[in-house]
Amino acid sequence: MAGHILKTYDQDLEALKDNVLQMGANVRTALEKAIEGLIKGDREQCSDVIDEDEEIDRAEKQIDEQGMSILLRFNPVASDLRLVLSSINVCRSLERIGDHAVNVAKRSRKILKKGHIDEVRLMEPLYLEVQNIVTQALVAYSDVDEKIAHSVIAMDSKVDELHKSLSKSLSRKISEGSMSSADTESMLNILFISRSLERIGDLAVNVAEDVVFITSAEDIRHQV
């Protein structure tokens, strides 16, 4: 009987982790579709991101319930306990990334409704860096790799730098007052997208910090 319980326990832990990773893949896809929809001028692609957000929300609820069930039924300790608690935290960070992807999609639709604006291309370096930091955060969680987790944390400074640079550039263009009102509105929406991308970088760092907690039991949140 003990062996059966242990097998069930291991399977439940594995299923929990697999569901978090699947949620992460869906969130990453949502972000990719939101930005590519803007760059390619595909409003339907942006709308898909908004429509599919309910699936991400359902995944968060399912993972939360899975984690609580494991805690109540098996009373895990040490690294297993940290894995379950961190998995619940990670899925919450992923849900918030999904929310930001929806915000990007909504802003993108507004921009596309006003017509093409060349400045959307200015977001690509920031987006590529954010896409990379999210991917690496998920790799760190998948492999439970503290080294990769710390590299993710270090990468956030590049995201912040690109966000600040883009914000300054766009703000300068807006302040010149030479654009139409429609283009000015689109530029403001690009600014809001940049802010969402910067916040996604912060959430990827949260995921990485949870990986460090799994591996070392060290809470490094809010450390300078």
Q: Which of 82, 113, 83 is nearest to 20 (CA)?
A: 83
Residue 132, in any domain of the structure: yes
The total of structural domains in the chain comes to 1
Count of positions (residues) in the chain: 224
Residue 221, in any domain of the structure: no
Alpha-carbon gap, residue 179 to 170, rounded angstroms: 12
**How do residues 121-162 score in pLDDT, each as one tens digit?**
999 999 999 999 999 999 999 999 999 999 999 999 999 999
- DSSP state string for 7-18: HHHHHHHHHHHH
Q: Which of 153, 16, 23 is nearest to 97 (CA)?
A: 23
Alpha-carbon gap, residue 31 to 130, rounded angstroms: 10
Residue 223, in any domain of the structure: no
Q: Model pTM?
A: 0.93
Residue 96, in any domain of the structure: yes
Confidence of residue 207 (pLDDT cuts 50, 70, 90): very high
Token digits of residue 193: 């997208």
Residue 222, in any domain of the structure: no
**How do residues 141-150 score in pLDDT, each as one tens digit?**
999 999 999 9
By the 10 Å C-beta count (0-12 exposed, 13-18 middle, 19+ buried), 194 is classed as buried
Alpha-carbon gap, residue 113 to 103, rounded angstroms: 15
Q: Where in the sequence is the domain holding 86, given as residue range(s)?
A: 2-216
Residue 3 amino acid letter: G
CATH value at residue 212: 1.20.58.220
Report, as an integer, the average pLDDT of 3-14.
Answer: 81
Residue 12, in any domain of the structure: yes
Residue 83, in any domain of the structure: yes
Q: Which of 78, 84, 101 is nearest to 29 (CA)?
A: 101
Report, as an integer, the average pLDDT of 58-79.
Answer: 95
